[in-house]
Chains A and B, each alone.
Chain A
Amino acid sequence: MHGRKAYQLVKDFASGEKGHLKSFNNELFDRVIEECNEHHNALQSLIRKMQEEGLEVQTAKNADHYGALIHHLSLIRNKRCLMAYVYNRAEIVRELAWNVGLLHELPHEIQEKLNETEEQYFKDHSKSLKLYMSQMNLDVNVDMVPPKDPYIKVRVLEDLGSGIILSDKTANFARHSMHFLKRTDAEQYISRDKDVSY
């Protein structure tokens, strides 16, 4: 039946954990592209046949017309599935740009799930967000939770080095050291899992 591979591609996306990316399924993706071309070839040959018989393709509703129609519909169905696969993954990539912090690299285990164009899209979107924030002179990717306390006590899990520049001081983030951080500073590190909140 037409469109089954495309359906599998969409299912592959849907079967992932919500908000998480699986590896880009190149094999299945390429197979669906191939099928698109097969449908297009079949479509073209049916159209040619009608034209050779001197028939108007859109109005002469014979068996060839309906065959061509079915191939056209299958092509746009495949297109929809391909587009949705990439588009919905791109949504998650955008979320990564928001959450992981725009100055930082993606963790390796996430990076290997993206294909090349997705990696570029991550960079492009990060730039767009950064540009907006610098034009507004305001960070919009901090403060994701309504504030209760202005300061949080944190303990550093991994040695992050000295001379860490925060909004109100510099600090030495040696392992096991404890600090009083401004909430917005702490947020950045906690969401990347470098500290634990107390």
Chain B
Amino acid sequence: MANYYNIDDILTEEEFVPVVFHKAANGVIIDPSSETNSVEQGAKVELPLWLAQELCLRQAVSISVPACFNQKTRLEIQADAACVDLRSRSPYFYEFGCKIAPLVGDKTVEVLLLSAFKIRYKEILTKAYTAAHTATSKFLTLLTKEETNLYEAAQSSMAAFKKWRKGGPRLQRASVLGRKRKPIE
């Protein structure tokens, strides 16, 4: 697994998806509606992606489209992608969508992700370079993790450019050492 130690990948795979069990399983307490410690064939359960995808590959379950890609969200994205609060759907909206798409066999998820990303990417870059603080702070709360990373990268490269143009102190306290404490007088 190329991304074995990648934190974002691990967190993405904790997102829950709705599954239907094709096979029963004994000795597990993953179905809250079950009275025994087992899952029945035909049971509908919400499982984390890491479990669902492996079971799906072995044909023990089938996965349906998760709530965050439902009709309501799609309509909102079509109306005005830049204003949709994707983070509340999932902070890993895009990564999650990419992993889900081949498993649910729904081609429209890919199209949705791409169109949302294109529109929002433009907004992100514009806001990063114009840096009007009050307008942007609400916008930032709508961004997914990946989008936030892009925004911060754009901002920091802009700041570095400005700093290079201006000159100024170039050596700094190593950031890994944390914030400066007040000097003891």
Contacts and interface: CB of A to CB of B under 8 A. Distances in A.
Secondary structure at chain A's binding surface: helix, strand, loop or mixed? helix
A: interface residue count bin: 35 or more
B: interface residue count bin: 35 or more
B159 interface: no
A19 B30 contact: no
Contact of A66 (B26, B48, B50, B171): B26
B23 A191 contact: no
Secondary structure at chain B's binding surface: helix, strand, loop or mixed? loop
Contacts of A191: 171-174, 177
B5 A157 contact: no
B30 A2 contact: yes
A156 interface: no
Contacts of A20: 176, 178
Contact of B180 (A2, A42, A193): A193
Interface of B: 4-7, 10-11, 14, 23-28, 30, 38, 47-48, 50-51, 54-55, 58, 60, 169-178, 180, 183
13 contacts: A7-B48, A11-B11, A14-B11, A19-B175, A46-B27, A67-B38, A70-B51, A77-B51, A95-B176, A100-B174, A110-B178, A191-B177, A192-B174
